[in-house]
Every structure is written in C-alpha cells, then in structure tokens.
Amino acid sequence: MATAAANNSKKIAQLAKKTTKVNRARKSPRLYMKATLAGYRHGLQGQNKNTAIVRIENVNTKDDAAWYTGKRVCYVYHGYKTKRCVRWSKAPARRSNTRASWGRVVKPHGGSGSVRVKFTNPLPGQALGKRLRVYLYPSRI
C-alpha cells in the first residue's frame, strides 16, 4: 500500500515538472484568430445564407467584436477532386483538393462578441460549427 502511494506521488511530481515544448511544423506565428460558424442571419420566415454569424475565440464584448470590422474571414475545406490552379503544368506540387471561401466581417452581432460576416459564396450547411479563420488584416492600427 505504501509503495503504491509512493509511485502515485512520484508520477504526480513528474507530471508537474514536465515542461516539454511541442514542436510545430509551422515556425511562423499564426496570423488569424480561430472562430466557429454559429449560424446564419435569419428572420421569422427564412434565413439569409450570405450573411453568417461567427463566434471568434476570446472575443466576449461588443467593443472587442467591433475591432474585427473589415477583417477577412476564410473557410478552408477539402473537395473531392483536384481542381486546376495557377501554374498547373509548371508546379504540380501546388495541386491539391484544398479550397477556401472568403468573406469579410461587416459588423458586430448582439452584445456577446459575435460578428456578422458576408461571404462571396454562401457557406454550406456542413460548415455549421466548423472552424473559420479570421485574419488580422487589413489592419487599421
């Protein structure tokens, strides 16, 4: 019984002492804020899928949300086929089935830090609850 308690305390001490840093593949800093698609703007009768309501992580007030007005938003997803891209024949390494849909933050939505985002093409319903990127440009600082 005493050895089990000693082993547990030894494990706890090792875990508390553990300060190993996980190496990421990307060495540059992340230039976007993480966000999730909360829903679409809608009324009683129907919804407008061109305007999405987005929750940005660690943004909890209307004033914080107002800072993001004008920033670009990206929804990155994967298609089935590899589509033609710029320099298709010259740079085959650039070919991929990753695609992106772009939008822009229009204004805050409500008082709890949500924002409205207008997308060029409406986001699909599959994107609800998925990750979006809110880029920190264009900058007004």
User: How do residues 57-113 score in pLDDT, each as one tens digit?
Assistant: 999 999 999 999 999 999 999 988 887 777 778 777 778 888 999 999 999 999 999
Quote the CA–CA distance of 18 and 120 in Å, as a whole number. 47
What tokens were used for 64?
A: 């914080």
Q: What is the DSSP letter of 3?
A: H
pTM: 0.75
What integer pLDDT is reported at residue 1 of this predicted model? 60
Q: What is the DSSP letter of 119?
A: E
More confident residue, 59 or 13: 59
| Contacts (Cβ under 8 Å, ≥6 apart) of 28 | none
**Could you give the 3-state DSSP secondary structure of residue 64?**
helix
What tokens were used for 53?
A: 């309501």
pLDDT over threshold 80, residue 3: no
Q: Give yes or no for a contact between 48 and 42, defined as CB atoms under 8 angstroms apart.
A: yes
What integer pLDDT is reported at residue 21 of this predicted model? 66
pLDDT over threshold 90, residue 13: no
Q: Give yes or no for a contact between 131 and 34, defined as CB atoms under 8 angstroms apart.
A: yes
What's the number of CA atoms in the CB half-sphere (13 Å) around residue 46?
A: 3
What integer pLDDT is reported at residue 19 of this predicted model? 62
What integer pLDDT is reported at residue 127 of this predicted model? 95
- Angle at the Cα of 96 (from 92 to 100), degrees rounded to 5? 135
pLDDT over threshold 80, residue 138: yes
Q: Give yes or no for a contact between 70 and 140, defined as CB atoms under 8 angstroms apart.
A: yes
What integer pLDDT is reported at residue 5 of this predicted model? 72
pLDDT for 21-65, tens place per residue? 666 676 788 889 999 999 999 999 999 898 999 999 999 999 999
| Contacts (Cβ under 8 Å, ≥6 apart) of 23 | none
